[in-house]
Every structure is written in structure tokens, then in C-alpha cells.
Amino acid sequence: MIIADENIPVPIIEKLRLANIETFSVFDNLRGISDKEIIEFAQNPPKIILTEDKDFGDLVFAYNQKKVSVILLRYHYLELEKIESILINFLQNHIVEEHSFIVITSKNIRIRKF
């Protein structure tokens, strides 16, 4: 399951759901909770946090959150449709392992285990 942070645009969430990727929206369901609370929520059972907030990298590394994986999206707003396509293709064709930090841009995908 994907947990979409509050900063993830609605069109991305909608496209994920249309692609049958189970997506939980923090904005719709848990608005205002802290990043640390999102990480705690994502642990049991393990989920993937989707965010545009670079602070999640610091948090998962600092607190050694082994059950959490993070996908960080970095793009210009004009690239929204392209990043949606890249993200969906990645999720449909790859298994995201626990304790992975993944950065997806319009040009590449970087995966780092922690």
C-alpha cells in the first residue's frame, strides 16, 4: 500500500488508484499529522510513503526505520504527467523492498537501501 503524504497532488493519487495501486491519502484521512507519525503509521504492516518532502530521508535514516520505504518525487510542475507515468510504471514493474529510499525524477530513478 502507498501512503501519499499531504504534499502529493490529487492527480497523482487519482492516477495511482486508476492503475489499481492501493493508495491512502494523508490529506484526505489524517490531515495535519507529523512526518514522524506518518512513519509510525507506515510501519505495521509495512507500507510505502510517497512524498515530495526531502525530510523523510533524514527521518528514516536517523531513526533507522527498517520497515518503511520512501519514494521521493522530484519534478517541475510542468512534468506532472510524465512523473505520474514514470511512478506508475515503476510500481507496476518493481517490487519495492522494505528499507528502501527511492528518488524518482523525470530523468532517472535512484534506489538506496538503508
Percentage of the chain beyond pLDDT 90 is 78
Answer for the pair 22, 2: CB distance below 8 angstroms, yes or no.
Answer: yes
Counting the structural domains of the chain, the total is 1
Which pTM value belongs to this model? 0.94
Tens digit of each residue's pLDDT (9 = 90 or more) over 6-52: 999 999 999 999 999 999 999 998 999 999 999 989 988 889 999 99
CA dihedral 51, 104, 80, 48 (to 10 degrees): -40
Q: Which three cell numbers stand for residue 97?
A: 523492498
> CA-to-CA distance for 84 and 82, rounded, in angstroms?
5
| Domain housing 54 | 2-113
Tens digit of each residue's pLDDT (9 = 90 or more) over 82-111: 999 999 999 999 999 888 999 999 999 999
Answer for the pair 21, 88: CB distance below 8 angstroms, yes or no.
Answer: yes
Output the furthest CA–CA distance in the chain (Å, rounded): 35
